[in-house]
Chains A and B, each alone.
Chain A
């Protein structure tokens, strides 16, 4: 049982490049989330998916798109990366009934 996994662990992009961050969970959770965490800051919700086939905006959705590919996988796409998107990105999943969210190990993204 791997829990929540994320790829890649680390990525360097140039301004304007695109990339997709991958997330998968094997806990049969319905809900999945994408957060960003800037140095010394808290967690800010980018997008979430309450169930397969649905996605909703969080606090900071601009510049990002998401896809809930199936119950296990939830990807985050940066179409045209900007230096302001330099951050650590965490994926999380939870059961709707219990509410506790479980986080992946994170992706460190540097946009030059």
Chain B
């Protein structure tokens, strides 16, 4: 596609529900990242994939957060038993070259509101 595509764009969940957020990176991009952006803050790193391998998940805030990229393209970020503090915009980004040198292309994000 022309850019990084994320769905859903908006998600409202009741506390305790599980949610799944999808990211479709730019075709051919090797690296894929998930960031969390709270209101009025900068993006915070969650996790990073190179192809299907999850190379860094040190930013995931708890074991309720899980990400996968089984075929090295589309990725899903899953949040189990959502809490109010999970409310944020979840940004996906992809990069063509190795992450050390490549520009990150961000999607428009999935805004999660937990009631």
Are chains A and B native binding partners rather than an unrelated pairing? no
